[in-house]
Amino acid sequence: MIPQQAMMNDALSPHTPSPLPADAHATVTGTDIVYLADLQPQPVEWLWQHRLAAGTLAMLSGEPGSGKTWVALAIAAALTRGRDPFTGEKLKPATVLYASAEHAAAQVIQPRFAGLHGDPARLVILRRAVSASSMSSPDSALHDLPNALVNALQKTQAHLVILDPWDGLWALDLDRLARLAELHRCCILLIRHLAKPAVGRPAHRGRVSIDCCAALRTEFLVGSSPDAPAQTALLHVKSNLGPLAPPLDYRIGEAGNFHWAGLSNLTPEDLLAARPTGAGLPKRKFAAQWLRDCLQPGSQTQGSIEVAAERDGVCIATLRRAKFDIGVRSSKDGKSGAWWWTLPPPED
């Protein structure tokens, strides 16, 4: 009698592809299968709740100059201190392995990381992927990054790996990277440039194949409002592990400092728009629509409205004219209190 396992292998082999053997000429004798009932449930091990998980690939995409490296370093700095990057909630401190072919470690990475108050003892630079002359020789380009990552992960036991930028610099097999992340129980965060200025989903605008997105468990998009370049946000646009996390507002100051600025109301469509949202609208009409949206949740003080308007690129003089156009009502809170603006009641 033919053993049941042998029958199962024979039955599956024409239909179920098996992993390629190490020796391309080796004979495939069966397939690696498992019954679902034999698998033990494995909870997601979050490095950053609902955003970055151990054993997975993640991607952060954005146009050049959008602040991708700042965001990545802000995440890394918080995790090395044992803090949630946004809420500051206490976490277990993590070791971060950082590889960059664009940014000099001593001139860019180190001062930014210090300004973000990260723990330098937990940030490990993969030196042969950094082009700074103080860190490596000019001809020390890393030709076999996957093997270097294996070696570095074995030495550091890093929880988070950041490859900045990933696209166009290293010919990496994403399936191999995914297996590496799973084997070492780390999250590998790939930083990717988006092409300008075409409209479309991040997968369609990157400099790499859209097929790469299938290997990702989570994906993020960074960028700014088309009407207010200073209004920037980190958006969670894909997750196979749970619900999408809320969008986060961030600011990069002229003095070279980064901080989170609360929740954002920007959408992927805003960040990927090829032209300003208000393009083709008279400024006064656009300001009126902006003011309606601002007051829709309820009354707000004149001061807070004008601060938000300046942040979003709406001229204060135009805003006040638009206030008259749509009949916004003003009321003062006492003799010396603030002025409050309220939308008029809906018409019957």
Residue 141 has a pLDDT of 45
CA-based nearest residue to 48, from 21, 18, 1, 82: 82
CA–CA distance, 181 with 150 (Å, rounded to integer): 10
Instruction: Report the sign of the C-alpha dihedral through residues 105, 150, 79, 222, in that order.
Output: positive
DSSP-assigned letters across all residues of 114-149: HHTT--GGGEEE-GGG---TTTS-TT---S-HHHHH
> In angstroms, rounded to a whole number, what is the distance separating the alpha carbons of residues 218 and 234?
13
pLDDT at 111 over 80: yes
With cut-offs at 50, 70 and 90, classify the pLDDT of residue 347.
low
Q: Tell me, what's the pLDDT at 78? A: 97
Name the token pair of 156.
Answer: 């550091």
d(CA 80, CA 121): 8
pLDDT in the model for residue 207: 42
| Distance of alpha carbon 70 from alpha carbon 67, whole angstroms | 5
> Nearest-CA neighbor of 326 among 293, 277, 303?
293
pLDDT, position 262? 94
* Calpha distance 330→308 (Å, rounded): 17
Contacts of 80 (CB under 8 A, 6+ apart): 93, 94, 95, 96, 118, 119, 122, 123
Between residues 123 and 23, the one the model is more confident about: 123
Q: For residue 26, name the pLDDT band (cuts at 50, 70, 90).
A: low
Quote the CA–CA distance of 139 and 243 in Å, as a whole number: 44
Please tell me the predicted confidence (pLDDT) of residue 95. Answer: 97
Most confident of 6-10, 59-63, 137-141: 59-63
Half-sphere exposure of 32 (CA within 13 A, CB side): 4
Residue 144 · residue 126 · CB < 8 Å: no
Cis peptide before 165 (omega within 30 of 0): yes
Residue 132 CB partners (closer than 8 Å, separation 6+): 104, 105, 106, 107
The confidence score (pLDDT) of residue 5 equals 39
pLDDT above 70 covers a percentage of the chain that reads 73
- Residue 256: φ, ψ to 5°: 80, 45
3-state helix, strand, coil in the chain (%, to 5): 35, 20, 45
Does the pLDDT of residue 332 top 70, yes or no?
Answer: yes
The mean pLDDT value for 52-76 works out to: 93
Phi, psi of 272 (to 5 degrees): -100, 5
% of the chain residues with pLDDT over 90: 37
**pLDDT of amino acid 313:** 81
Query: What distances in angstroms separate CA 256 from CA 77, 250, 306, one per listed residue?
Result: 16, 13, 25
What's the whole-number mean pLDDT along residues 210-219? 73
What is the mean predicted confidence (pLDDT) over 101-121?
86
Confidence at residue 196, expressed as pLDDT on a 0 to 100 scale: 57
Q: End-to-end CA distance of the chain: give it in Å, rounded.
A: 84
Q: Please, what is the average pLDDT of the chain? A: 78
Q: What is the pLDDT of residues 272-328, one digit of tens each?
A: 876 554 544 577 788 888 898 899 888 999 989 988 888 888 888 888 888 887 889
d(CA 309, CA 292) in angstroms, rounded, equals: 12
Round to whole Å and give the CA distance between 7 and 173. 34
